[in-house]
């Protein structure tokens, strides 16, 4: 692909990403591209590196090798004096991060701020949006995720589902080009999953570009355009969601899909999610 | 009701109390400032900063407070004079006991505050820090908007303890002739030959400060917890 065909350039392109923690090779050459309006579901067993993949995209973890392009812009990397790979320009990273909304498994709302304050914080402080405008926009988002009546509550007083919807609103307030969602429902009680999936469903219908790690197979089939299955640090299978979810070609993926609800199994042992928080 | 007959020395104790509180507040301010600096050093990326902060807390913890007070009060002027002399100048330096007291007590308790702040900063949930980074906040913004506001909440109980111990430790600076509460009681006790009366009175004053401090601390803590109960993140 030629680099200068702006409109056709992928919203997010990951090329040959590698990441190891000590001797543990977590990502061993992952490539993927999300074009505008794509919703990509990322699946894989617990520990297969799904969170690490998202975290390497916005450089919460530094990939050992590989490239990340956001809207055609390459995140420049270099080696520091000790030979550690690092971002060449921290300001570029901060700027790129404002274009990538992140939704965490454990919400990670700022607990000393109300819901509204959580949402307007980064737009005001990072993007320099005037306070009045930020509040108007936040109120709109709060209505959209059905949390307007909770706008002045602190996160501790919300249910998990409400917290996650607030976290989604917080991410949307940055008007990101791509949303990264890391198992947005797997820390929730089963009866709260629906309300969050509904919000994400609406976002997909709006044409948001999303990369979403999920164990909800039905949801992935209904909402995502493509599914990627990670196994042993590599893309084991990928393709249009309906196709690969209904007729997985790889033995591993088939076993994963028929193995029942991996997500549930993982969330009963939260210690396994270690690196995410 | 038993009344203490202070033989006309009551005013002296009150004045001493005032001075004790002043020294205490000054030293606490210094301790908080040094503590923030020390915690920043201990958690710094830079090895030199970590080393400096580590040395500071180790030295302070390893040397008796009384010695540190005497070292600062007598040692610093001597050092300055010697330095001046070696530069061919004749300089006479006297350290004001009030300033020396605040400096030394602040220096000592800054080391304890360092540990309090370090623990408090580390108690801020990691996920919330990552969220801030993921939204493009730089280091300064992250510190100012996410870490510091939450850190205070975790630091307050520890700082309260530092204050209680610190205010009692100000009694030590009576050795450098500052007429704070302890020295005032001592002077009055010698003059009247009634040591029990005056030391007992002084101990009531110290107790009074501590009780008042506990009440204030409770107020501040409940204010700092407003809105968000713990267990978040
Ligand atoms: N900071 C870290 N240091 C060391 N090991 C890490 C770190 N982060 C993740 N790991 C390890 O890397 C592997 C992949 O972790 P990751 O969190 O990406 O998995 P995951 O696919 O998201 O799993 P889950 O479904 O449980 O969330 C795991 O074995 C994990 O223990
Ligand atoms: Mg994960």
Whole-number average pLDDT of chain B? 90
Residue A83 banded pLDDT, cuts 50, 70, 90:
confident
Q: Is the CB of A19 under 6 A from ligand 1?
A: no
Domain extents in chain B: 11-224
pLDDT at A7 over 70: no
Q: Quick check: A37 and A223 in contact, CB under 8 A? A: no
Ordered DSSP codes for A19-40? EEETTEEEEEEEEEEE-TT-EE
pLDDT digits (tens, 9 = 90+) for B125-152: 999 999 999 999 999 999 999 999 999 8
Pocket of ligand 1, candidates A17, A52, A59, A272: which has the most ligand atoms within 8 Å of its Cβ, to mutate? A52
3-state secondary structure of A212: strand
CA distance A128 to chain B (A): 12
Does position A273 have pLDDT exceeding 60, yes or no?
A: no
DSSP category for residue B206: H
Residue of A111, A123, A180, A270 best to disrupt the B interface, most CBs of B under 10 A: A111
Range 111-140 of B in CB contact (< 8 A) with A: 125-128, 130-138
Over the stretch B33-62, which tens digit does the pLDDT of each residue have?
A: 999 999 999 999 899 999 999 999 999 999
pLDDT digits (tens, 9 = 90+) for B175-223: 888 889 999 999 999 999 999 999 999 999 999 999 999 999 999 888 8
Does domain A12-268 bear CATH number 3.40.50.300?
yes
**A275 pLDDT more than 50:** no
Residue A169 banded pLDDT, cuts 50, 70, 90: very high
Residue bearing tokens 């190891």:
A20
State chain B's maximal CA–CA distance in angstroms.
69
Q: What is the pLDDT of residue A271?
A: 41
Please, what's the b/e burial string for A99-116 (b: 16 or more CB within 10 A of its CB; e: otherwise)? Answer: bbbbbbbbbbbbbbbbbb
For residue A272, what pLDDT is reported? 40
| Res A6 pLDDT > 60 | no
Average pLDDT, rounded, for chain A: 90
ipTM: 0.88
Q: Is A173 in the pocket of ligand 1 (CB under 6 A)?
A: no
**Helices B97-123 & B148-169, crossing angle to 10 degrees?**
140
Q: Do A111 and B141 touch (CB under 8 A)?
A: no
Contact B233 A106 (CB under 8 A): yes
Contacts (Cβ under 8 Å, ≥6 apart) of B190: none
- Which residue has its alpha carbon closest to ligand 1 atom 28? A47
* Tens of pLDDT, residues A179-215: 999 999 999 999 999 999 999 999 999 999 999 999 9
* Residue A41: strand, helix, or coil: strand
> Which alpha helices (DSSP H) does A21-159 contain, by range?
50-57, 90-98, 115-122, 131-144
Q: Summarize pLDDT for B94-121 with one digit per residue, the tens.
A: 888 899 999 999 999 999 999 999 999 9
Ligand 1 pocket, residue A273 CB under 6 Å: yes
Per-residue confidence band for A171, with pLDDT thresholds at 50, 70 and 90: very high
Cα of A84 from ligand 2 centre, angstroms: 25
| CB A77 within 8 Å of CB A86 | yes
Q: What CA–CA distance (Å, rounded) separates B18 from B163?
A: 16
At the fourth CATH level, the homologous superfamily of domain B11-224 is MetI-like (1.10.3720.10)
| φ, ψ dihedrals at A78, nearest 5° | -155, -175
Ligand 1 near A186 CB (within 6 A):
no
What does the alpha-carbon distance between residue A44 and residue A232 come to, in Å, rounded to a whole number?
Answer: 9
Answer yes or no: is the C-beta of A232 below 6 A from any ligand 1 atom: no
pLDDT at A8: 65
DSSP codes of every residue in B42-85: HT-S-HHHHHHHHHHHHHHHHS-HHHHHHIIIIIHHHHHHHHHH
Q: Which residues of A touch B (CB under 8 A)?
A: 58, 60, 90-91, 94-95, 97-98, 100, 102, 104, 106-112, 114, 121-122, 125-126, 154-156, 170, 174, 276-277
Residue A215 CA, closest ligand 1 atom number: 25
In short, whether A26's Cβ falls inside 6 Å of ligand 1 is yes
Question: How far away, in angstroms, is A10 Cα from ligand 1 center?
Answer: 27
How far is CA A162 from each of CA A93, A94, A150, B173, B207, rounded to the nearest angstrom? 30, 28, 9, 56, 48
The whole-model pTM stands at 0.84
pLDDT of residue A92: 95
Sorted by sequence, the CB contacts under 8 Å of residue A271 that are 6+ apart come out as none
Q: How far is A108 from chain B (nearest CA, A)?
A: 5
User: Is the CB of residue B138 less than 8 Å from the CB of residue A127?
Assistant: no
Assess contact for A181 and A165: CB atoms under 8 A.
no
Helix axes A190-206, A160-172, angle to 10 degrees: 20
């Amino acid at each position: 692909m030629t680099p200068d065909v702006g409109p056709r350039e992928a919203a997010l392109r990951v090329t040959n990403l590698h990441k190891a923690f000590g001797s543990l090779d977590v990502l061993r050459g992952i490539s993927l591209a999300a074009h505008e309006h794509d919703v990509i579901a990322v699946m894989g067993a617990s520990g297969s590196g799904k969170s690490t993949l998202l975290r390497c995209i916005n450089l919460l973890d530094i990939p050992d090798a590989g490239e990340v392009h956001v809207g055609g812009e390459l995140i420049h990397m270099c080696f520091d004096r000790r030979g550690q790979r690092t971002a060449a320009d921290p300001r570029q990273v901060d700027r790129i991060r404002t274009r990538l909304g992140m939704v965490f498994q454990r919400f990670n709302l700022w607990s000393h701020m109300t819901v509204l304050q959580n949402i307007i914080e980064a737009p005001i402080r990072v993007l320099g949006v005037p306070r009045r405008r930020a509040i108007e926009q936040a109120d709109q988002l709060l209505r959209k995720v059905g949390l307007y009546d909770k706008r002045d509550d602190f996160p501790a007083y919300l249910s998990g589902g409400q917290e996650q919807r607030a976290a989604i609103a917080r991410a949307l307030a940055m008007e990101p080009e791509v949303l990264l969602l890391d198992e947005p429902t797997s820390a929730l009680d089963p009866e709260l999953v629906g309300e969050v999936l509904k919000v994400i469903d609406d976002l997909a219908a709006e044409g948001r570009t999303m990369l979403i790690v999920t164990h909800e197979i039905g949801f992935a089939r209904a909402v995502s355009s493509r599914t990627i299955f990670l196994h042993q640090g590599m893309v084991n299978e990928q393709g249009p969601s309906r196709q690969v979810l209904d007729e997985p070609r790889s033995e591993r993926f088939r076993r994963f899909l028929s193995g029942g609800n991996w997500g549930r199994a993982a969330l009963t042992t939260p210690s396994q999610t270690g690196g995410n928080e | 009701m038993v009344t203490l007959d202070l033989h006309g020395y009551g005013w002296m104790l009150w004045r001493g109390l005032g001075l004790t509180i002043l020294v205490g507040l000054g030293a606490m301010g210094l301790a908080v400032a040094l503590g923030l600096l020390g915690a920043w050093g201990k958690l710094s990326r830079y090895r030199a900063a970590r080393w400096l902060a580590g040395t500071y807390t180790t030295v302070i913890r390893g040397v008796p407070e009384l010695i540190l007070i005497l070292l600062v009060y007598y040692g610093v002027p001597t050092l300055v004079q010697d330095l001046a002399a070696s530069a061919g100048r004749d300089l006479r330096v006297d350290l004001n006991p009030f300033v020396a007291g605040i400096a030394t007590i602040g220096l000592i308790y800054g080391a304890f505050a360092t540990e309090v702040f370090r623990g408090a900063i580390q108690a801020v949930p990691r996920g919330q820090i990552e969220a801030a980074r993921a939204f493009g906040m730089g280091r300064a913004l992250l510190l100012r908007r996410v870490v510091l506001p939450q850190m205070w909440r975790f630091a307050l109980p520890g700082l309260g303890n530092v204050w209680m111990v610190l205010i009692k430790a100000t009694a030590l600076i009576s050795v450098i002739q500052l007429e704070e509460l302890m020295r005032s009681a001592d002077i009055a006790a010698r003059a009247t030959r009634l040591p029990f009366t005056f030391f007992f009175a002084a101990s009531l004053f110290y107790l009074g400060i501590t009780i008042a401090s506990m009440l204030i601390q409770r107020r501040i803590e409940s204010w700092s917890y407003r809105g968000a109960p713990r267990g978040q993140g």
